[in-house]
Structure 1
Amino acid sequence: MTIKVGILGFGGLGQAAAKILNQKQEMTWVAVADKNGFAYAPQGLDLKTTIAAYQNQDSVGHLEPFGLLSTESIAELIATAQDVDGYFLALPNLPNTFMASVAQQFIEAGWQGVLVDAIKRTSAVEQLVELTTDLTNCGITYMTGCGATPGLLTAAASIAAQSFAEVHSMEIEFGVGIANWAAYRATIREDIAHMPGYDVETARAMSDAEVEALLEQTNGILSLKDMEHADDILLERLGICSRDRVTVGGIVDTRNPKKPISTTMKLTGRTFEGKISTHTFTLGDETSMAANVCGPAFGYLKAGLSLHQRGISGLFTSAEVMPLFVK
């Protein structure tokens, strides 16, 4: 059976997700929405023409004959695309309540299926936790924190923790390289929101010119420390360690596709013999942010569908369910 997949959000991350789906046999990309419209093709959307409609006319709603312009694109897509098995929410969580509000739209629509996000902030995941009962009751299997961090690296930490009787610390240091910040505007704004003197609202309100001025001051480099990253709540929920033992930071180069540093996860703990040791998980420098976010997201979507088909709904995280490889 082919899994029918939708993508919400069609900026840099959404377009990368579509390119990944284009190479998969087990999943077919049939639905997409941006802020100005949506497109739905039951037999599958064409990658080239859909991206062209977005880039040249500012919305997938211009895609003939499958698109429709709409100011309520998500709600209308949910109502139109009845056979979608799962959605990847490749959306910026700006404002910080946005992802929970999207989940609420699916709940109110009575939709049933799998939702996957690559959310970052702890406080945003906490809002989704509050929706757990509603998600369970309406038959939605929601997989949260399923990108790179949280996501791939959190899952690695969850596995690494099994060697220890007590986990002392989990540290993530990531490196991201992109050739041009404009390809990932929303992601970069979310990163800026973690910088001293900024928050979600100030970053969201920044014009492109203001973002460019900031990047000019920093030579295109964003240095991020002690970020509010949901890896902490994901590990705490499983009893692996308290959130204050989790630290996340990194360097984003917005002018160079080469990673400024390697991305690593280090988990330190005490074994049952009383030895202190550290497991280190390092991502290959050649893997892009998009590969390390979208790949796991679809792996978790497939895992979520496996749960959903067995009648299991509610909220799950990348640290408690193994992703399934999508062929």
Structure 2
Amino acid sequence: MPAAMRVGILGFGGLGQAAAKLLAPKGEMILVAAADKNGYAHAAEGLNASSCIAAYQSQGSLGYLEPHGKISTESIEELIASSCPIDGYFLALPNLPNDFIASVAQQFIKLGWHGVLVDAIKRTSAVEQLLGMKAELAAAGITYMTGCGATPGLLTAAASLAAQSYAEVHQVKITFGVGIANWEAYRATIREDIAHMPGYSVEVARAMTDAEVEALLDQTDGILTLENMEHADDVMLELAGICDRDRVTVGGIVDTRNPKKPLSTNVKITGRTFEGKISTHTFTLGDETSMAANVCGPAFGYLKAGIQLHKRGIHGIFTAAEIMPQFVK
């Protein structure tokens, strides 16, 4: 049996913690490293997800995890530079400001790291920054998988598959429903969503205090309604040759006070078949699957696919619309 893939998680908020839980029962992947903004932990034999989450929640950082943690204000850089062998990282980081993920990718390049990186970022402009680094990433020996969460990610890949029925794709419409019991478990994700609302921006959302976010949510009864979002599904489908980006729309509803989804997440792909018929395919996610399940599952599936590409000497940047994810057992 091949050795387990050794993976790290950068960012340990709601998404990072969910990623650690998801990995725990897997046999093909083992969590060997994780970092937050105040510290990091690594262990070649593997980290215990429950212990990591307990240290983070009780003391505010993985750096307090005994005996594997280290407190540091340069946690990402120190972890990358450490001798811990890691095949790939999931960047479960908030992309605030809008060039943050690209700057982290630059750190990996600068430190001479070789391996696989996967992100679940949302914004078209953020993904375009990474696409502009294609030659740099390839020269550095890095295989980078971008836009590999739920949307962009799982739903973009579904659109890519569904498009095969058509001679021409007229519209791709992604509608998502997210239900979380408490916004504080996903602070960074909620701030990113607020940044998509009319009258807000990445800078405004990033500068908001928790009290200001609470006040906004009080005004909306905890509901965020998002329309015509700047979502990288558009550039990813355009890049894959499926349709022009202006035919792709993304929107949804986030309920920050109720774990039940306010509506079913789906993607509708409308097109014309070679016989001249107009039709629509719909792919709907089960309401019981959480945001975390639909983001972290695909991210690790794409990480596994990226590791296979990397082993074949294929480096550079790929999107969820170009490569099939591989199921992690």
TM over 0.5: yes
TM, length-normalised to structure 1: 0.99
Q: Which residue number corresponds to residue 288 of structure 1?
A: 290
2:112, 2:166 → 1: CA distance?
43
Q: How does 1:19-168 map to 2 (within 5 A)?
A: 19-168=21-170
2:243, 2:127 → 1: CA distance?
17
Q: Which residue number corresponds to residue 304 of structure 1?
A: 306
Q: Structure 1: 5+ residue runs without aligned partners?
A: none
Letter aligned with residue 290 of structure 2: S
Letter aligned with residue 232 of structure 2: A
1:143, 1:129 → 2: CA distance?
10
2:125, 2:190 → 1: CA distance?
19
Q: Is the 8 A contact 1:20 1:295 kept in 2?
A: yes
Q: Is the 8 A contact 1:223 1:250 kept in 2?
A: yes
2:234, 2:210 → 1: CA distance?
31
Letter aligned with residue 148 of structure 2: C
1:81, 1:47 → 2: CA distance?
21
Q: Secondary structure at the match of 2:237?
A: helix
Q: Which residue number corresponds to residue 201 of structure 1?
A: 203
Count the aligned residue pairs: 327
1:261-298 deviation digits (Å, cap 9, x = unpaired):
00010000011111100000000000000000000000
Q: Does 1:274 align with 2:276?
A: yes
1:171-209 deviation digits (Å, cap 9, x = unpaired):
000000000000000000000000000000100000000
1:283, 1:239 → 2: CA distance?
25
Q: CA deviation at 1:81?
A: 4.2
1:247, 1:326 → 2: CA distance?
30
Q: Is the 8 A contact 1:170 1:265 kept in 2?
A: yes
1:187 aligned residue (185, 189, 194): 189
1:27, 1:186 → 2: CA distance?
26
Q: Secondary structure at the match of 2:325?
A: coil
Q: Structure 2: 5+ residue runs without aligned partners?
A: none
Q: Percent same amino acid at aligned positions?
A: 76
Q: Which ranges of 4 or more aligned residues in structure 1 deviate by more than 2 Å?
A: none
1:295, 1:151 → 2: CA distance?
10
Q: Which residue number corresponds to residue 254 of structure 1?
A: 256
Letter aligned with residue 257 of structure 1: P
Q: Secondary structure at the match of 1:202?
A: helix
Q: Is the 8 A contact 1:40 1:81 kept in 2?
A: no
Q: Which residue number corresponds to residue 7 of structure 1?
A: 9
1:128, 1:153 → 2: CA distance?
20
